[in-house]
């Protein structure tokens, strides 16, 4: 019991060291389990933000934790363990959700033009690579709009989550910011064509 209490108080780094030193022994396994359990809430919350479904988020979180366990030996120690686990979780979630189009939205993005309308700006923008999009949005959008559009389009983040991540306080949250950002981008692209 005392050992269990001690292990719970142990810093991440020391749990990790023990998990890697004795991966097959009881103490190593216990250390890995305590370490991963420490972050299970965060992993679940992150998955939930992407899928808005408890059961699916649980399945995803379980998968992330299982992968993290298998990959523990690849953790380089360059960052905090939590940062590394975030990278594993993020990469998993990105694989699980489809990338929204930059200018064409799902029902979540009602401001977008419908996809059946010919739209040269849209076509052009969808073809641009990340670097070109970065350059473009830096030139035409304010910092909050830049981040909101980036999170939506490249981090595949749901609108509601963007509101929270960027701590946007206006009543319509990231939705209004995204609308504004897309409008500005479209205008900029139209001007570029003329």
Partner 1 sequence: MTKRECIDIAEMQDVFELPRSHPRRRHLEECPRCASLFASLRSFSDTSDEPAGADFEDADRRLSEAVENRIVRATSARADRASVQESAPSAIARVFEYLQRSPLRPITAVAVLAIALLGIRMIVNAPHEPSRTRTLRGETAPGKQQPVLESPRLLTDGGTRLSWRPVERAQSYRVVFYRADMSEVARWETGPESNLLLNAAKVEALAEAREPLFWGVTALRGRDEIGRSPIRVFTVPGKS
Q: Is 99 in the site for partner 1 (CB under 8 A)?
A: no
Q: Could you give the CA distance from residue 66 to residue 162 in angstroms, rounded to a whole number?
A: 27
Q: Could you give the CA distance from residue 134 to residue 149 in angstroms, rounded to a whole number?
A: 10
Nearest residue to 181 (alpha-carbon basis) of 167, 162, 164, 161: 162
For partner 1, the closer CB: 30 or 101: 30
Minimum distance of partner 1 from residue 118's CB (angstroms): 28
Cβ atoms within 10 A of the Cβ of 153, count? 22
Alpha-carbon distances of 123 from 48, 133, 172, rounded to whole Å: 32, 13, 28
The one segment of 5-13, 38-46, 99-107, 121-129 that binds partner 1 by CB under 8 A: 38-46
**Contacting partner 1 within 125-144 (CB under 8 A):** 130-131, 134-135, 137-138, 143
Alpha carbon 174 to chain centroid, angstroms: 16
The one segment of 8-16, 45-53, 100-108, 115-123 that binds partner 1 by CB under 8 A: 45-53
Q: DSSP label at 72?
A: G
Count of all residues that appear for the chain in the document? 194
User: Which residues here bind partner 1, judged by CB under 8 A?
Assistant: 23-24, 26, 29-30, 32-33, 36-37, 40-46, 48-49, 52, 54-55, 57-59, 61-62, 65-67, 69-74, 76, 78-80, 82-84, 86-92, 95, 130-131, 134-135, 137-138, 143, 146-147, 149-151, 154-155, 157, 160-161, 164-166
């Amino acid at each position: 019991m005392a050992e269990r209490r001690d292990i719970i108080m142990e810093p991440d780094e020391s749990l990790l060291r023990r998990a890697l030193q004795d991966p097959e022994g009881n103490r190593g396994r216990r250390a890995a389990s305590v370490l991963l359990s420490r972050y299970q809430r965060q992993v679940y919350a992150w998955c939930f933000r992407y899928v808005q479904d408890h059961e699916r988020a649980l399945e995803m979180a379980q998968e992330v934790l299982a992968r993290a366990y298998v990959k523990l030996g690849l953790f380089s120690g360059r960052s905090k363990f939590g940062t590394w686990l975030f990278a594993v979780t993020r990469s998993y979630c990105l694989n699980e959700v489809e990338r929204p189009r930059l200018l064409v939205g799902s029902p979540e993005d009602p401001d977008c033009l419908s996809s059946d309308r010919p739209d040269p700006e849209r076509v052009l923008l969808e073809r641009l690579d990340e670097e070109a999009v970065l350059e473009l949005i830096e030139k035409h959008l304010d910092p909050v709009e830049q981040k909101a559009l980036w999170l939506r389009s490249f981090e595949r983040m749901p609108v509601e989550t963007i509101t929270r991540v960027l701590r946007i306080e206006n009543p319509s949250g990231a939705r209004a910011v995204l609308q504004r950002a897309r409008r500005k981008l479209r205008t900029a692209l139209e001007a570029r064509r003329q």
